[in-house]
Amino acid sequence: MELYDLTIHELHGKLKMREVSSVEATQACLERIGAVEEKVHAFITVTSEEALKGAAQADLRIAAGDMDILTGIPVALKDIFLTKGTLTTCGSRILDNFIPPYDATSWLKLKERGAVLLGKLNQDEFAMGSSCESSHFGPTRNPWDLERIPGGSSGGSAAAIAARQAIATLGTDTGGSIRQPASHCGCVGLKPTYGRVSRYGVIAYASSLDQVGPVARDVTDCAIMLGAVAGYDPADSTSVNIPVPDYAKALAIDVKGLKIGLPKECFISGLDPDVQKAMDEAIAVYKGLGAEFVEISLPTLDYAVAAYYLIATAEASSNLARYDGVRFGHRTETAQGLIDMYKKSRAEGFGTEVKRRIMLGTYALSSGYYDAYYLKAQKVRTLIMHDFLSAFEKVDIILTPVAPTPAFKIGEKINDPLQMYLSDIFTIPVNLAGTCAISAPAGFSGEGLPIGMQLIGRPFGEETIIRAAYTFEQATEWHKRKADI
């Protein structure tokens, strides 16, 4: 067991007992990054010097007895989080020179607790993608099979955990961008309820759906990270002002009598046989632990992807209007006047997937099409929310696969956007409903690829899904397997 293999809670124990220093742990992670990064490419920027400085400061805090569970823990952030003074690209050429003048609230909260920043992680450009292939800085590879995608958009956040380059990471999830990569890389990923975590300083994609959350080695680490970043922020008026529970208390082995819903629409023929097998086995484990299963129906599930690709692209077309070459980011060198400067700067700065989504969103919002597309999608969103609310009258949580298949091959879906979009069919409805869900390791395919299960909770029901995932984790060994890299 190397220092970079540890969980937050294990490393915290060693730091507290003075068995190791934060500088040693940080050095170990930086050396590990040096050793495997050429294969994985999880990072856009590695901040070695600042990391060692931060670690030395953390060691002083620990020596002074001023210690939090995150003090001295080396972490990394998706490159969508603004980090004051450190390059923040969002995976895009249009921001390839952007140095933020302030910190995202979620990073500030980790920093104040003494967490150490190792660097900024690769992602699909502007978080638009399910494979991490749309990054301007090149694709991240899945540590379990370097020919395969790590998932996306927070592909770097999951790959860095699976390759043991960081102890824990933060990602963002708009349609599955934390849960799907966590599933494909054998990590635990949690998408909190909309409003649970501040998005201040997080580069916006689709503002009614975006949410910040952790990717980590186990459920305990996820609970620790969520507790650190959750809470109301006056700087984000969409964050909700309700108290943050002590998520550590939810780490209990207890699913007796827990009612788990199985949506019949998710367990259709055509589901990958390995994924089906992993879900069947997970259900058997829960039954053995005393949970009860109830068949439920989410009749509008089949419409979620269509609604999502209108709502998300419409919001993106508006959010990304700010990249115009005036105040920050890339500006063309060949402009003939102002409008031409906008058009060329954006054409040069954005990649194909971002352009495609801006085009779709602009179309859906344009005169004559607004009612038929955008408004219709928002109405369908209401129906999807109602489906979930009715289901939660009968059950405590809902179990589904995270993705219909294990990680696919790099290049396999890049030229067929619709097929790529459909790989998010089980995760997208959760964002539309605004509720919370966790992705946890639940098995492996015949080819040795990780398979995750998704547990969906009620709005602000993070404690219940954490408890259910923790109980499963303590009864299984899936999360202990390591990618051979």
Nearer Cβ to another protein, position 41 or 381?
381
Using DSSP's 3-state secondary structure scheme, residue 306 falls into: helix
Catalytic option among 21, 153, 154, 445: 153
Nearer Cβ to another protein, position 271 or 335?
335
Least distance between another protein and beta carbon 164 (Å): 34
Return d(Cα 285, Cα 470) in angstroms, integer.
13
Name residue 450's beta-bridge partners.
444
Over the window 286 to 325, marking each residue x when it contacts another protein by CB under 8 A and - when it does not, the resulting string is --------------x-xx--xx-xx------x---x--xx
Residue 136 touching another protein (CB under 8 A)? no
Least distance between another protein and beta carbon 309 (Å): 6
Residue 404 touching another protein (CB under 8 A)? no
Least distance between another protein and beta carbon 381 (Å): 4
Catalytic option among 21, 22, 78, 92: 78
Least distance between another protein and beta carbon 224 (Å): 25
* Catalytic residue check, 22: no
* Catalytic residue check, 153: yes
* Catalytic residue check, 78: yes
Cβ-Cβ contacts under 8 Å for 44 (sequence gap 6 or more): 79, 87, 89, 91, 119, 120, 121, 122, 135, 137, 156
Give the binding range for another protein (CB under 8 A) out of 198-206, 218-226, 336-344, 397-405: 336-344
Nearer Cβ to another protein, position 1 or 339?
339
**Which residues have a catalytic role annotated?**
78, 153, 177
- Residues near another protein (CB under 8 A): 97-99, 101-102, 193-195, 208, 234, 237-238, 240, 300, 302-303, 306-307, 309-310, 317, 321, 324-331, 335, 337-344, 346-347, 350, 352, 355-356, 358-360, 362-363, 366, 373, 375-383, 385, 417-418, 421, 432-435, 459
